[in-house]
Amino acid sequence: MARPYWSGQIQISLVSFGVKLFVATEAKSEIRFHQISRSTGERVRHQKVLASALEDAPDEAAAPVEKDEIVKGYEYSKGQYVIVEPSELAALRVPSKHAISVTQFVGLDELSPEYMEKPYFVVPEDDVQAEAFAVVRKALQKAKKAAIGKIAFGGREHVIAITADDDDKLGGMMAYTMRYQEELRSPAEYFKDIKKVAVNADSLALAMDLIKKKAAKFDPGKFTDGYEAAVRELVEAKIKHAPVPQEEVASPRRANVVNLMDALRKSLSSDEAVAGKKKPVASVKGEARKSLSLVKPAKGTGKRKSA
């Protein structure tokens, strides 16, 4: 098993038990690009040099600064820095470096996706911690709640949400670091110019029918990175000196005004034909009544993505 990203305690009132966090994601892209000189074909490498060396002799090669000579510095005024040593950062008094103190529990539907950042696997530190871990996990599962606390790693303190995995065979928990309110841009700034329009009941009913027909259980395994596949095809073609694949550009068409009702009806008919269940489309009013009586708005889960 990989080394844990963080080890410490989960504290809920007077209950405390040790856990380990493991990063739940990994980069799967196999295509890696380097910076290459177009004229020589050699790889371009970057060096850390003094800013003054570049200013005094911009045309001369500057001597690189050794790694152990580089420290963090905060610019408190123009060109003036205060140096902060790694040992000073390590000694900061931040309790959440070692323990997640749970401050509240919230419903899973209260966790808005835009706040969720990165997922982690949570496991008990050892067999001694397994009982308390299992009890808290089962309680979260039954209550459909997430435990909210704070955790410090990676040079900052994060809000963290801990949830119980639904799979009892695995028996683990998930943790998600969350964004702070101030990190999210205001949606009003981007949505304010959207034109307000009245929603036609018949169009809405047809749209709901289309959603109903295309509804399916989400299977993330069905999705792959098409961009990487295209890049791989490009790279392999260049290695073999074969013709480089090109995007097929559709011939320009005259802009036309789309009739929403017709587009919705055709979408429904097309979907039925593909499924082998083609049937005449009922009258608009009949479809509207059918949809409104059978289709209920879906409730948001509030569960995350990761990042």
Tell me the Ramachandran region of residue 110: left when phi exceeds 0, alpha when psi lies from -120 to 50, beta otherwise: alpha
Q: Confidence band (pLDDT; 50, 70, 90) for 11?
A: very high
Provide the 10 A C-beta neighbour count for residue 10.
27
Q: If you ran DSSP here, which 8-state letter would residue 25 be given?
A: -
**Mean pLDDT for the stretch of residues 283-300:** 38
Provide the 10 A C-beta neighbour count for residue 17.
20
Q: What is the pLDDT of residue 54?
A: 72
Q: Is the pLDDT of residue 116 over 60?
A: yes
Q: Is the pLDDT of residue 109 over 80?
A: yes
Lowest mean pLDDT of 158-167, 220-229, 233-242, 268-277, name the range.
268-277
Residue 289's H or E segment, with its range, is helix 284-294
Q: Is the pLDDT of residue 2 over 80?
A: yes
**Mean pLDDT for the stretch of residues 73-87:** 91
Each residue of 35-61: pLDDT tens digit? 998 999 899 888 888 888 777 777 777
Q: If you ran DSSP here, which 8-state letter would residue 242 be given?
A: P
**Mean pLDDT for the stretch of residues 129-142:** 96
Tell me how long the chain is: 307
Q: What is the pLDDT of residue 132?
A: 95
Place of tokens 């304010």: 192
SS3 label, residue 41 = coil
Single-letter amino acid, residue 231: V
Residues of the chain by 3-state class (helix, strand, coil), percent to 5: 35, 25, 45
Q: What is the pLDDT of residue 249?
A: 66
Q: Confidence band (pLDDT; 50, 70, 90) for 267?
A: confident
Q: Confidence band (pLDDT; 50, 70, 90) for 149?
A: very high
**Mean pLDDT for the stretch of residues 268-291:** 53
Q: What is the pLDDT of residue 160?
A: 97
Q: β-strand 72-77 against 15-23: which pairing, if any? A: unpaired
Give percent of the chain with pLDDT exceeding 70. 84
Q: Are 18 and 32 in contact (CB under 8 A)?
A: no
Q: What is the pLDDT of residue 273?
A: 66
SS3 label, residue 250 = coil
CA angle 187, 190, 191 (to 5 degrees): 80
